[in-house]
Amino acid sequence: MNDVFARLESEVRGYCRGWPAVFTTARGSHMTAEDGRTYLDFFAGAGTLNYGHNNPLLKKRLIDYLAADSIVHSLDMYTAAKRTFLERFEEIVLKPRGLDYKVQFPGPAGNHSVEAALKLARKYTGRETVVSFTNAFHGMTLGALAVTGNSMKRTGAGVPLGHGVAMPYDNYLDGRTPDFLLFETMLDDSGSGLDKPAAVIVETVQGEGGINAATAEWLRGLSDLCRRHDILLIVDDVQMGCGRTGAFFSFEEAGIVPDIVCLSKSLSGYGLPFAITLMRRDLDVWEPGEHNGTFRGFNPAFVTAVGALEEYWTDQDMEKQTLAKGQLVERGLDEIALLNAGAVETVRGRGLAWGLVMRDPELAPRVCAEAFDRGLLMETSGPEGEVVKLLPPLTTSEADLSRGLEIIAASVSAVRDAVTV
Amino acid sequence: MNDVFARLESEVRGYCRGWPAVFTTARGSHMTAEDGRTYLDFFAGAGTLNYGHNNPLLKKRLIDYLAADSIVHSLDMYTAAKRTFLERFEEIVLKPRGLDYKVQFPGPAGNHSVEAALKLARKYTGRETVVSFTNAFHGMTLGALAVTGNSMKRTGAGVPLGHGVAMPYDNYLDGRTPDFLLFETMLDDSGSGLDKPAAVIVETVQGEGGINAATAEWLRGLSDLCRRHDILLIVDDVQMGCGRTGAFFSFEEAGIVPDIVCLSKSLSGYGLPFAITLMRRDLDVWEPGEHNGTFRGFNPAFVTAVGALEEYWTDQDMEKQTLAKGQLVERGLDEIALLNAGAVETVRGRGLAWGLVMRDPELAPRVCAEAFDRGLLMETSGPEGEVVKLLPPLTTSEADLSRGLEIIAASVSAVRDAVTV
Amino acid sequence: MNDVFARLESEVRGYCRGWPAVFTTARGSHMTAEDGRTYLDFFAGAGTLNYGHNNPLLKKRLIDYLAADSIVHSLDMYTAAKRTFLERFEEIVLKPRGLDYKVQFPGPAGNHSVEAALKLARKYTGRETVVSFTNAFHGMTLGALAVTGNSMKRTGAGVPLGHGVAMPYDNYLDGRTPDFLLFETMLDDSGSGLDKPAAVIVETVQGEGGINAATAEWLRGLSDLCRRHDILLIVDDVQMGCGRTGAFFSFEEAGIVPDIVCLSKSLSGYGLPFAITLMRRDLDVWEPGEHNGTFRGFNPAFVTAVGALEEYWTDQDMEKQTLAKGQLVERGLDEIALLNAGAVETVRGRGLAWGLVMRDPELAPRVCAEAFDRGLLMETSGPEGEVVKLLPPLTTSEADLSRGLEIIAASVSAVRDAVTV
Amino acid sequence: MNDVFARLESEVRGYCRGWPAVFTTARGSHMTAEDGRTYLDFFAGAGTLNYGHNNPLLKKRLIDYLAADSIVHSLDMYTAAKRTFLERFEEIVLKPRGLDYKVQFPGPAGNHSVEAALKLARKYTGRETVVSFTNAFHGMTLGALAVTGNSMKRTGAGVPLGHGVAMPYDNYLDGRTPDFLLFETMLDDSGSGLDKPAAVIVETVQGEGGINAATAEWLRGLSDLCRRHDILLIVDDVQMGCGRTGAFFSFEEAGIVPDIVCLSKSLSGYGLPFAITLMRRDLDVWEPGEHNGTFRGFNPAFVTAVGALEEYWTDQDMEKQTLAKGQLVERGLDEIALLNAGAVETVRGRGLAWGLVMRDPELAPRVCAEAFDRGLLMETSGPEGEVVKLLPPLTTSEADLSRGLEIIAASVSAVRDAVTV
């Protein structure tokens, strides 16, 4: 069946190895394979499908736009679709939150947003070093990879990765050291060997890193530290933005205002490649054309992005529902953890991003495999792949969330029993 | 009218500055602005729209696919659309050309294809240096930027760009030195200071560099040099592939077989973000997941890409037409150059990629501005922006090509007369 | 008087700014200026003159050698003087300590020894990263500077310094974190962003860093960590070796055996430029000539180095005396600290390397200036220059040590009183 | 005999492998081994002993200085010996040549002078790139190594060497391209990929590179190019300065004035480690202490350096004699080349630096081995070691030069005959 994949597709392919099915259609929180099986999707395109697959509210807008022979590709020419996106993003997202950002279209992918953010921070400050955190993930292009922690992916660069320094993330040392003790001591010490950073780049919840959720206090401490030391704060909200943690931006709960914000993944609302970089107005020191790229103006994404904003973000319902659903998931996972204390180390997460941390890293992929057999898609994350990661569409019904939790419970049991035997 | 652009969009925006119109719809070789004016498009999304805007043959496939709630976003899961793409790409492109490549989906943009190519070449050879050429353009992410020539864009990196060495492109020194004299001398000389390269990356025609077209002899010489010195040859066919120079791959005419090929831009045929990296089968030493990214599996692009292959590449017609149309354009430009010898330095190009090189770099943007006023879209390229660049859709009718050439003639005259006065 | 210095010598000159005297002669622990004033020297060429100025036991050997028209300069040809050095170094230093090192002559300066050590560690392991510590000082050449902490000196590089990571030195975080908690956690975590290091480079007592003396436990912990993680341990004993802390090597007290050791400064015993790099026998993977340099074979230094070994290191007396004198100095400084608790923060050191840490960084240079007026030479160290640094020749008499301490006491009083007023 | 060398000295040792003798004494142009054999020295410490071994005019000054318990080691304190050096260097070297340089003491070795020059050029210009030339040799520390061509030595770095670009040296492409055609074209082309350099570093005659002597015209062209493009010109005169090519500085003949000059090797006149960096007065933007090092103030070297200046450089005799002796050597080598045209490719050099280029790289070390057997010391150089390198002391008598040439003639004959047979 899959001969052509094995014969033609590079060995670099990954997800397909754990999910040996050929998918054909999808709607909402479900994906269907060509053998007719339907899967509940707690993966959601690694956070790209917060509003579900082929969301009907957006689908109509997209097809109408295409059917009218509207502009599809425009680089950074002016188009009506882009103007509408900017207007609605300003009205629905920026203004109500009191954010005075300018918007850059850096290319279609999250790593484009990160690359642009790093360039801008370096250009603005005239400094080179960027501080990232242990277990950070910011992308695979060379600039983004240099602030990413995963050693296998770093090795793939084939050249030494420079200009980045990794600091411990929240709770990295198990509560045994005060927040930022090392970071601030090194900044205050002219002999520390830490060259003054241009910026700090941070995820509020580390998705690939294992669903490590920083506390609001830690994020405020980081913001404060950056301000005191005149270092730019970049929040990479590629995976955790667009409502994944409740509010539109994941940093809102902490009450901080980053200098630069990276958005992508669910921004288009429909799985279309789209990314933006937001920057404090006075940071916009770019020369015209200093950063460019072919797919900066993919207009269908503007259209579905506007659709997502208008359908989901003009009131508080989305945020409230996400938080409520998150509590449902948390309770379900806590129960699983309690019943399987020998196999499950802990449960962690925020909003609708959750991780079930297995004691033995080998167990997590086995839980996911059992879940797949039972019709549920989930991936692992964390440095050793030890975390079962739940990232269901935000639009998943409570019934489906419950059903997914039941499958997880059964999968953990199956794995645990196998271990016991 | 454009207040929101000025207020909200970063100063990095570029094309919109030369074309102060807000575009709404487009079909084939024409774009229409909201003021009702229609423009002939000799820009084609910088080579992304080789089959024209909203090509009706592909449009139906795209809308049908979306309407059926087919998979839109899948990372690198298996999907039916992806399988079809691989199968058809093999049958229509690879097999007839005797190419035994494996296919990587490195992300949606051309620079993703380049970043993956560079990583792979370094990983495979265990070397770091990559040789690129003067006036090369390979993209804005940090790895791709390090092999790009443009100094303004390089400075934007904010960090020194390493691991790259620039060699003179074909005819760079005006025919005053034998091809590869310096390059080969340095490779043969263990004291030259040139660390043995992992790879050479080259465009067969440098688009951003000013429509510099390497000769087939030069390309064969380069391929030969790489083979003799055990250096991988990467052809960046992002802009010149997919038929821009006649054949599907721009390197076919020279009869060479690169080790790695980068494709994007017109690959989807519809302006959808899509890129692949082709590699000699034995080079596929990737670990699963060693390079990844969210928008690797944007299925609508698989669908339109298959459409483009099936509609245009199952016989030789497309190639023949492109070459014929190219001759038409060349003749027209030669005539313009002859009539305006004081203003035009030379005409150069290949296939349907052409450049009108102005003697005074300031003239080129003025020619483009005059053309815009007369209803024609063209951009400049070259290190000083001294080249008026023609990249019309390959599907442009001869009548439209002729009309465009007339506008160019009038625009050059207008600018020349202004100079004279 | 000093017109020619101001007119001709670069602004980079430093020590002369604090000591405005032109020195002419010196003997033992005393230096005499051309105005006839004699100064007690608690600086000792920053640790280069452990056996005092113009030590008469070595002076005779040196002059006899020169008078006989013996070989002065020989690069790495074989000479009788070099052979004797190797033989005596083996007999007197290596064999009694059970050390099976090979000896490299990397150039005349301490940074040459460090550069060679770093190269070798990278070559042997095939890795690039080297871990150094906060407030480390390893030299001003580009390789050594990359593992040095001082920000002013790092900025002087003019290029970003790569391939180095700074970890907290012993007691850096005031005892608030367990030793190596961060370092080992990051090594154990494949997502930490710390690329596996080739080596760790460490000073057992950080001289320039402010006389920070690592405990034997910490050094053993570090050695153990390196061994468990297959990372080479380099001890930079340039300033603290040759008996400064008591034993010939500063790491002997901790009972550890580094993989590579850097020696210079007092190695020649007479202030002659001389350095060696010691490496575990199996690490000697150098190609002939892979690292070279003009002044690797400065034979007069071999002669005086042999003299120093034969005169001072064939029994335990030197070590015992240094430790005894160190206690004398420590007691004296403790008393000063006690009497000036408002101005002095703490006293720290080991062997005959001591630091009087002032509460206000501005006080330290003033103490040194007062001491200079009273006939005592001392420099400051530490990231803010907050430490009055005592590095008297090991051969300084107890009477001179006491006299120096009296001057320090008076100088601190003078400064403290000035502060009070 | 040499057991201790093999047992204890690192495999990195080089010269001793070709000259299996243990040297004990030396005078003028002769070195004597412990077996009683005396060798004529056409190696001169790789250019460090321009005034011969143990030059009696300097020896007395050195011993007197040491005997008087004068200052030996002083870092950058003021000393009477240093003041005298600065005064005499100004009077004898700088003033008569109209040079308004400031003097930095960067450490005892040539690579220290180079590292300081590179740092300063980068700091002053705010740029990172430094252009060096094919087959350049500037030293083994990481900064100097990055502008050195030799691939074996570059590989020894263990990390990629950045911030340097190699351009073709004079006559590199066998006269087939105009001087600086590529370099200037790339500087003028904002798309060339050559980041604007801080500086160019050049040897007027490449010693290690194979005695490649740039013409005066080429050097003037380079100086002119640097001035027009606002790039600093650094002449590394470590090996070719101090009279090796006739005049004190090797660049005088071309009539150029570099912005920065590196001197070492024969500067002390006696083989003592000593180096200085000269910089145009307005370039002296160093902060106090921004570059330092332990052996910056090795006073015996000041004393012998003054001796060399006073004995040899107060009139024109030295320069005239060197040029005359150089002609004698050139004639002798030309004759050898003529008689051995099958084995010798060419003769090249300047002043008293000469190279006999062998057609087969394997022949050069065999010629040197034959010469050693006949009592003459010479080393090879060039990327393949294909050049027999003559660097006799400038004070070598004409008789000794003739005797050396006879040995070379015999050695070439012996090797040639062996080849024939």
Residue D174 pLDDT: 79
D104: tokens are 């930095």
Among chain C residues, the shortest Cα distance to A382 is held by: C191
Q: Are residues D265 and D333 in the same domain?
A: no
In a domain, A15, yes or no: yes
Split into its structural domains, chain A has a count of 2
pLDDT score at A417: 77
Binned at pLDDT 50, 70 and 90, residue A399 comes out as: very high
C129/C239 same-domain check: yes
Residue C60 lies in a domain: no
**Inter-chain CB proximity D4 and C265 less than 8 Å:** no
Predicted local distance difference test score (pLDDT) of residue D177? 85
Is the residue at A65 inside a domain?
Answer: no
pLDDT at residue A409, rounded to an integer:
98
- Asked if residue A256 lies in contact with residue A265, where contact means CB atoms within 8 angstroms, the answer is no
Q: Which residues of C touch A195 (CB under 8 A)?
A: 151, 154, 160-161
Mean pLDDT across A359-365: 96
**A24, B71: Cβ pair inside 8 Å?**
yes
**pLDDT tens-digit map of B129-173:** 999 999 999 999 999 999 999 999 999 999 999 999 999 999 999
The closest CB to that of B143, out of A21, A76, A141, belongs to A141
Residues belonging to chain D with any Cβ–Cβ distance to chain B shorter than 8 Å: 128-129, 132-136, 147-152, 154, 160-166, 168, 172-173, 176-178, 181-182, 185-186, 189-196, 209-210, 382-384
Q: Rounded to the nearest 5°, which phi and psi values hold at B415?
A: -70, -40
E runs forming strands in B145-259: 164-167, 199-202, 205-206, 212-213, 232-236
pLDDT digits (tens, 9 = 90+) for D39-61: 999 999 999 999 999 999 999 99
Q: Determine the straight-line distance between the first and last CA of chain B, rounded to whole angstroms.
A: 35
Same domain, A44 and A178: no
Which residues of A fall within a CB distance of 8 Å from C185?
168, 172-173
A309 shares its domain with A320: no
DSSP string across C134-168 = TT----SSHHHHTT---HHHHHTTSS---SEEEEP
The span from the CA of C63 to the CA of A194, in Å, is 47
pTM, full prediction: 0.97
- Closest chain B C-alpha to A176 CA, distance in angstroms: 33
**Same domain flag for B238 and B328:** no
Q: Taking CA atoms, what residue in B is nearest to A279?
A: B10
Q: For residue B155, what is the domain's CATH number? A: 3.40.640.10
Domain check: are D41 and D81 in the same one?
no
Whether C15 is in a domain gets the answer yes
- Mean residue pLDDT of chain A comes to 96
Contact state of A288 with B24 under an 8 Å Cβ cutoff: no
Q: Does some domain include residue D102? A: yes
Distance CA A148, CA A166 (A): 9
Two structure tokens written together for A391: 């990232």
Which among C160, C172, C194 is the nearest to A128, CB-wise? Answer: C160
Average pLDDT, chain D: 96
Nearest residue of A to residue C184, measured between CA atoms? A173
Selected for mutation to probe chain D from C65, C294, C296 (highest D CB count within 10 Å) is C294
Q: Are residues C241 and C194 in the same domain?
A: yes
Minimum distance, in Å, between the CA of residue B319 and any CA atom of chain A: 24
Is residue B243 within 8 A of residue B267, CB to CB? The reply is: no
Instruction: Give the residue from D313, D339, D374 where a domain finishes.
Output: D313
Residue A64 distance to chain B (closest CA, Å)? 9
pLDDT tens sequence across C301-342: 999 999 999 999 999 999 999 999 999 999 999 999 999 999
Q: Is the dihedral of CA C166, C170, C175, C181 positive or negative?
A: positive
Q: Which of A148, A168, A193 is opposite residue C132, by nearest beta carbon? A: A193
Q: Out of B134, B147, B181, whose CB is closest to D191? A: B134
Q: What is the pLDDT of residue D417?
A: 77
Q: What is the pLDDT of residue B176?
A: 81
Please judge whether D83 and C291 are an interchain contact, meaning their C-beta atoms are less than 8 angstroms apart: no
Contact check, Cβ <8 Å, C76/D13: yes
In C126-262, which residue ranges form alpha helices assigned H by DSSP?
142-145, 151-155, 181-188, 216-228
Strand pairing class (A260-263; A232-236): parallel
Secondary structure string (H, E, C) spanning C67-113: HCCECCECCCCCEHHHHHHHHHHHHHHHHHHCCCEEEECCCCCHHHH
Nearest-neighbour CA in chain C from A236: distance (Å): 17
Q: pLDDT by residue (tens digit) across D391-410?
A: 999 999 999 999 999 999 99
Å from C387 to nearest chain A CA? Answer: 13
Distance from C-alpha of A402 to C-alpha of A326, rounded to nearest angstrom = 11
d(CA A212, CA A220): 16
Return the pLDDT at A421.
Answer: 47
Coil/strand/helix, residue B373: helix
Number of C-beta neighbours around residue D317 at 10 A: 10
**Does residue D409 belong to any structural domain of this protein?**
yes
What is the pLDDT, as a whole number, of residue C176?
A: 81
Whether residues A11 and B284 touch (CB distance < 8 A) is answered with: yes
- Asked whether D95 and D266 are in contact (CB, 8 A), the reply is no
Torsion of CA A243, A313, B13, B351, to 10 degrees: 80
pLDDT of A37 above 50: yes
Q: Which residues of A touch B105 (CB under 8 A)?
A: 9, 13
Instruction: Name all chains with 3 or more CB-CB pairs below 8 Å to chain D.
Output: A, B, C
Measured in angstroms, the CA of C105 and the nearest CA of chain B are apart by 24
Domain-embedded: residue A64 = no
Q: What is the CATH number of the domain that holds A415?
A: 3.90.1150.10
Domain span at D369: 4-55+316-420
Q: D61 in a domain, yes or no?
A: no
Question: Are B234 and B381 found together in one domain?
Answer: no
Distance in angstroms (rounded) separating the CA atoms of residues A269 and A279: 22
Low-confidence ranges of chain C (pLDDT < 70): 1-2, 418-421
Whether residue A157 contacts residue B198, with contact meaning beta carbons closer than 8 Å, is answered with: no
Q: Do A273 and B298 touch (CB under 8 A)?
A: yes
Residue percentage of chain B with pLDDT more than 70: 99
Which residue in the block uniquely carries the two structure tokens 């038409």? B328
At residue A1, does pLDDT exceed 80?
A: no
Are residues D208 and D236 both part of a single domain? yes
B255-297 residue pLDDT tens? 999 999 999 999 999 999 999 999 999 999 999 999 999 999 9
Contacts of C64 in chain D (CB under 8 A): none
Same domain? D324 vs D247:
no
Band of the pLDDT at A175, cuts 50, 70, 90? confident
| Alpha-carbon gap: C315 to the closest alpha carbon of chain B (Å) | 50
The pLDDT value recorded for residue A174 is 79
Looking at C294, C313, C332, the residue that finishes a domain is C313
Q: How far apart are CA C283 and CA C100, in angstroms?
A: 11
**Residue D176 pLDDT class (50, 70, 90 cuts):** confident
Say if the Cβ atoms of D104 and C152 lie within 8 Å. no
Contact C190 A165 (CB under 8 A): no
User: Given a contact as 3+ CB pairs under 8 Å, which chains touch C?
Assistant: A, B, D
Nearest-CA distance A159 → chain D (Å): 8
φ and ψ of C15, to 5 deg: -55, -40
Provide the pLDDT for residue B2.
Answer: 58
User: What pLDDT, in 10s, does the model give residues B9-26?
Assistant: 999 999 999 999 999 999
Please give the Cα distance from C223 to A151 (Å, whole number). 24
Give residue C421's pLDDT: 47
Give the number of B-D residue pairs with CB atoms closer than 8 Å.
123
Verify that C270 and C174 share a domain, yes or no. yes
B288, B313, B338: which is the final residue of a domain? B313
Q: Tell me whether residues C78 and D22 touch, CB distance under 8 A.
A: yes
Write the DSSP symbol of residue A197.
P
Residues D79 and D39 in one domain: no
- Sort out which chain B residues have CB atoms less than 8 A from A23's CB and list them: 71, 74, 77-80
- Asked if pLDDT for residue B420 goes beyond 60, the answer is no
The amino acid occupying position D157 is: A
